[in-house]
Structure 1
Amino acid sequence: MTITTVGIDLAKNVFAVHCVDQNGKTVLVKSRVTRAALPGLIAGLPPCVIGMEACSGAHYWARLFRQYGHEPRLMAAKFVSPYRMAGKSGKNDAADAQAICEAVRRPHMRFVPVKDESQQAMQCLHRTRQGFIEEKTATYNRLRGLISEFGVIAPQSTDALRHIVFEQKNSLPLQVQQCVDDLLEHVARIEDNIAEYDRILSRMAKTDHRSQRLMELKGVGPTTACALVASIGNAHDFKNGRQLAAWLGLTPSQYSSGGKSKLGRITKAGDSYLRTLLVQGARSGTDRGGEKD
Structure 2
Amino acid sequence: MSESALIGIDLGKHSFYLHGQDESGREVFRKKFSRPQMMYFFGNLPSCVVVMEACAGAHFVVRQLTSMGHTAKLISPQFVRPFVKGNKNDFVDAEAICEAASRPSMRFVTPKTEAQQTLSVLHRMRESLVHDRTKIANQMHGFLLEFGVSLPKGLAIMRRLASALAERELPVRLTVLLQRLHDHFVYLDEQIKAFDKELAGQLAGDDLGSRLLSLPCVGPITASLLAVEMGDGQRYRCSRDFAASVGLVPRQYSTGGKANLLGISKRGDKHLLQLLVQCARVYMQRLEHQKGALADWVRSLLSRRHFNVVACALANKLARIAWAIAAHHTQYEAGPDALNA
The question of a shared fold, defined as TM-score above 0.5 by the shorter chain, is answered with yes
CA shift for structure 1 position 261: 2.5
CA shift for structure 1 position 243: 0.6
| 1:143-165 C-alpha deviation (Å, 9 max, x unpaired) | 12222222323343233456677
Measured in 2, the distance between the counterparts of 1:156 and 1:115 equals 40
Measured in 2, the distance between the counterparts of 1:166 and 1:281 equals 34
Measured in 1, the distance between the counterparts of 2:164 and 2:60 equals 53
What letter is aligned with 1:36? P
| 1:68-89 C-alpha deviation (Å, 9 max, x unpaired) | 1111111121211111112xxx
Q: Which TM-score applies when normalising by structure 2?
A: 0.79
Structure 1 residue matching 2:156: 3-state secondary structure: helix
- The corresponding residue for 2:192 is 194
Structure 2 residue matching 1:28: 3-state secondary structure: strand
Measured in 2, the distance between the counterparts of 1:162 and 1:235 equals 41
- The corresponding residue for 1:268 is 266
- The corresponding residue for 2:218 is 220
2:65 matched to 1:65?
yes
Q: Structure 1 residues 107 and 209, CA, compared in 2 at 3 Å: closer, same or farther?
A: same
- The corresponding residue for 2:276 is 278
Structure 2 residue matching 1:171: 3-state secondary structure: coil
What letter is aligned with 1:226? S
How many pairs are equivalent? 286
Which aligned segments of 4 or more residues in structure 1 are displaced greater than 4 angstroms? 160-165
Contact 1:2–1:21 under 8 Å retained in 2: yes
CA shift for structure 1 position 214: 1.4
- The corresponding residue for 2:227 is 229
CA shift for structure 1 position 286: 3.3
2:236 matched to 1:238?
yes
CA shift for structure 1 position 287: 2.4
What letter is aligned with 1:188? V
Measured in 1, the distance between the counterparts of 2:14 and 2:212 equals 40
Contact 2:159–2:186 under 8 Å retained in 1: no
Q: Structure 1 residues 163 and 226, CA, compared in 2 at 3 Å: closer, same or farther?
A: closer
What letter is aligned with 1:95? V
Measured in 2, the distance between the counterparts of 1:222 and 1:160 equals 25
- Could you tell me which of 199, 202, 205 is aligned with 1:207? 205
| 1:1-32 C-alpha deviation (Å, 9 max, x unpaired) | 421111111111111011111111111111x2
207-216 or 128-137: bigger deviation: 207-216
What letter is aligned with 1:192? E
Measured in 2, the distance between the counterparts of 1:270 and 1:6 equals 27
- The corresponding residue for 1:139 is 136
153-162 or 214-223: bigger deviation: 153-162
CA shift for structure 1 position 175: 2.1
- The corresponding residue for 2:49 is 49
| 1:160-213 C-alpha deviation (Å, 9 max, x unpaired) | 456677444552222221111011111111111111111111111111111122
5 Å matches for 1:87-102? 90-102=87-99
Measured in 2, the distance between the counterparts of 1:200 and 1:165 equals 29
- The corresponding residue for 1:127 is 124
Measured in 2, the distance between the counterparts of 1:38 and 1:174 equals 61
Measured in 2, the distance between the counterparts of 1:164 and 1:214 equals 37
2:74 matched to 1:77?
no
Measured in 2, the distance between the counterparts of 1:216 and 1:162 equals 32
- The corresponding residue for 1:29 is 30
Note the aligned Cα RMSD (angstroms). 1.8
2:153 matched to 1:156?
yes
What letter is aligned with 1:104? A
Structure 1 residue matching 2:137: 3-state secondary structure: helix
What letter is aligned with 2:25? G
Q: Structure 1 residues 50 and 282, CA, compared in 2 at 3 Å: closer, same or farther?
A: same
CA shift for structure 1 position 116: 0.4
- The corresponding residue for 1:20 is 21
